[in-house]
Chain A
Amino acid sequence: MSQILFIDNLSFKYHEKTVLKDISFSTDPGEFVSIIGPNGCGKTTLIKIISKINKPDKGNIYINGENIQTLSNKQLARHIAVVMQSSEPVSMSVEEYVLLGRLPFFKKYQFFENARDIALAHNYMALTGILKLAHAPINKISGGERQLAAIARALTQEPLLLILDEPTSHLDITHQIQILELISSLKKELSLSVLIVLHDLNLAAEYSDRLVLLNGKNGKIYKTGTCDQVLSEKSIQEVYNARVLIRKNPLSKKPCVFLINQNALDKKENPVL
């Protein structure tokens, strides 16, 4: 099986309310898959189910061919690394924080990180450009740097699948692009499978190989495929209840979503509407 992640007919209810229903999709090595959808459609829940924090009511999840329910948390953490949306403030150094990524690999009576652990941590700190901050306290660096540190920590786990939950929220466009460029280059270099929750449809269109559009109304997948297949004015209208225009980005030829301010426009002057 060449698929890294395979989600098979997954359903999840929270307090009797259906959050996710009949979700099936898979990711390949070196593939960048984005999950998009309106607020509260279960994107973060889906991530928590994949990382075994929540248990699905129905369906199975396989990582590298193994059902995650048969793996211990520690075994799972050697396959999947997760960068969560908000991390709590802690007063440790960036280096100590990144080294936590080696915890799943500690042997039973191992007390110190070995040379390889430290080399890996330094390698990924260098790759994400935060090696110079190694001794800075993690709660004193900027939001963008903290996100880079979280990615470095996740990479130090040497995962097959890297999951990120809105890694670009709260960041300015410089850092948004920096982080997505980094992830794109990493997936090629490390042939990493990347599953990412993104709010910004244009960023998702620019960087993803494939999109999974969740429909909050029934918890099902509305559509999955390349960005040209998924992002259409009709699908956005149906899933988000929002009217948008979609044009091609002149440089990348990817679809680009334009928002419409309904009040400010004169319908006569704008025949497209």
Chain B
Amino acid sequence: MKPNRIKRWSVILIILIALVTLVSLLALCTGSADILLKDIPHILFYGKGTSDYSILLDIRLPRIILGLSIGGALSLAGVLLQGMFKNPLVEPYTLGISGGASLGVCINIVFNFYGKIGIIAYPLSGFSGASLVIFLVYYLNNNTKDIKSNRMLLTGVMISYVASSLVMLLMAVSKTDDLQNIVLWIMGSLDEPNTILIKMALFGSLAGLAGSYFFCFDLNALLLGEDEAANLGVNTTRTKKFLFIIASFLTGLSVSVAGIIMFAGLIVPHFMRMIAGPDHRILLISSFLAGAAFLVLCDVIARVIISPLELPVGVITGIIGGVIFIWVLSRKQVTL
């Protein structure tokens, strides 16, 4: 029975890695400059200095890396939150964590923290905003016995509204330069020229994935409910604290680099749970990979659908994710 499962998990991983590679190649040859797939090796090896070479390596590749990192980070955050709250509709955006992170980043732009402490101010402010919201949502709902209730989801949505109103308030009182900065950033795009931020996103999301694996068994036990998990030896208070930190770290990082990308953390974990099963040993990595592929694919769609103009990628994930959210909600039996 055990070799069987390892075989199944390996097949899932191989398919997902192939998918990520395929989508990345697709993204590599999509864009206003016509570069064919078969020409890419030639350009990479012999074309140093040509414009095609710099389009591939300086424009498209960083964008793909960012897309993979952010997509992986957001859907991993979704898996962690869904596992903790035992609610399949929970994800960074619906819980208001993205909203909190965006408020943090806006405060950073308006008060010019990034001018004082450098580019690190972006992820730092995103992380602070995200963790503030996640603790707020949890403690506002902690006293009710039924943490599973959709009350928590409502609290999250409301916090989201408050955060976006505060962002608008900041926009209304900010200087023109700042306003432009905020608007550009809020649109949610993978077009990020700063390579330091891209590196941060890549290594940050991988660190988040590694960190979450320390809790894969605790998450499995939490599937049975908090009391049952405690009976199985899980220190639930400590585990939840660490998972909160990882989830807000991943969300804060994503939002501060790529703006608000809605629902990316909702759809992917939902489908991976159906395909790979509820065991977090496979669910964490497979959601990360599938999320990475999903966001890069959405970005390709966003780039070609009204080309030569491009849509913010959040528009695509918002439409697809919103429809799926409604579909999940309308299904009668929603269990993790």
Nearest A-chain residue to B217, judged by Cβ = A103
Knowing A51-B231, A88-B86, A95-B1, say if A103 contacts B221 (CB, 8 Å). yes
Q: How far is the CB of B21 from chain A (nearest CB, A)?
A: 25
Digit string of B15-51 for contact with A (CB within 8 Å is 1, else 0)?
Answer: 0000000000000000000000000000000000000
Pick from B6, B228, B232: contact of A104, CB under 8 Å: B232
B335/A91 in contact, CB under 8 A: yes
B235/A73 in contact, CB under 8 A: yes
B contact patch SS: loop
Q: How far is the CA of A247 from the CA of B223 in the complex (A)?
A: 46
Digit string of A89-113 for contact with B (CB within 8 Å is 1, else 0)?
Answer: 1111001100011011010000111
Chain A: interface residue count, which band? 35 or more
Residues of B within 8 Å of A113, CB to CB, are 2
Report if A26 contacts B (CB, 8 A). Answer: no
Report if B277 contacts A (CB, 8 A). Answer: yes
Report if B225 contacts A (CB, 8 A). Answer: yes
Nearest B-chain residue to A93, judged by Cβ = B277
Q: How far is the CA of A92 from the CA of B220 in the complex (A)?
A: 10
Report if A39 contacts B (CB, 8 A). Answer: no
Q: How far is the CA of A2 from the CA of B278 in the complex (A)?
A: 41
Partner-binding segment picked from A58-66, A76-84, A197-205, A217-225: A76-84
Pick from A82, A87, A92, A157: contact of B277, CB under 8 Å: A92
Q: How far is the CB of A224 from chain B (nearest CB, A)?
A: 25
A82/B231 in contact, CB under 8 A: yes
User: Total interface residues on B, using CB and 8 Å?
Assistant: 25
Chain A interface (Cβ < 8 Å from any Cβ of B):
48, 51-53, 72-78, 80-82, 84, 87-92, 95-96, 100-101, 103-104, 106, 111-113, 115, 118, 134, 139, 157
Closest 4 CB pairs of A and B: A77-B233, A74-B233, A104-B233, A82-B231
Chain B interface (Cβ < 8 Å from any Cβ of A):
1-2, 6, 86, 148, 217, 220-221, 223-225, 227-228, 230-235, 277-279, 281, 335-336
A51-B230, A84-B227, A106-B217 given. 20 additional CB < 8 A pairs? A51-B227, A52-B230, A53-B227, A53-B230, A74-B234, A74-B235, A78-B233, A81-B231, A84-B231, A88-B148, A88-B224, A88-B228, A89-B335, A96-B279, A100-B220, A100-B224, A103-B233, A112-B2, A113-B2, A157-B232
| Cross-chain pairs A/B with CB under 8 angstroms, 25 sampled | A53-B231, A77-B231, A77-B232, A82-B228, A82-B231, A84-B227, A87-B225, A88-B86, A88-B224, A88-B225, A89-B335, A90-B278, A90-B336, A91-B278, A92-B223, A92-B278, A96-B278, A100-B221, A103-B221, A103-B232, A104-B233, A106-B217, A112-B6, A118-B1, A134-B1
